[in-house]
A = this chain, B = another copy of it.
Amino acid sequence: MDLDFTKLDGLVPAVIQDAASGEVLMLGFMNAEAYAATRTSGQVTFFSRSRNKLWRKGEQSGHVLRVREILVDCDVDSLVIKVDAAGPGVCHEGYRSCFFREITPTGEFKVTAERVFDPGSVYRKG
């Protein structure tokens, strides 16, 4: 059986979950090539929609995501990938998870996590 890449023009969403804590760390998209690269390398590789190319998570920061388990949903159009995350956090803003803000009942975005690294020292500009 194959994944269904047709619903989002060649992409499937991949939920990245910390294998140990269960925390959702980020959500990215994979095309067939990124999915194959993830499986063969054992490191999460996305398709970057903004840069239109494969993007191995951590290739710049060193914060790679090692695949522990890949789960697929009933419609074979979404993935959950349980990972061991190298480094203190996955978010380019310096947080453990990209989901570091809660939406309050009044619709405000409120930071609820602690910043765990300085993004300026990890990510080069430009």
Q: How far is the CB of A10 from chain B (nearest CB, A)?
A: 13
User: How many protomers of this protein does the assembly include?
Assistant: 2
Q: Is the CB of A72 within 8 A of B101?
A: yes
Bound-complex Cα distance A8 to B1 (A): 26
Complex contact A72–B49 (CB within 8 A): no
Q: A7, B80: Cβ atoms under 8 Å?
A: no
Complex Cα distance, B26 from A73, in Å, reads 7
From 6 to 21 in chain A, residues with beta carbon under 8 angstroms from any chain B beta carbon are 7-8, 13, 15, 17, 21
Question: Is A32's beta carbon under 8 Å from chain B?
Answer: no
Asked if A45 CB lies within 8 Å of chain B CBs, one says: no
Bound complex: CA A107 to CA B32 (Å): 13
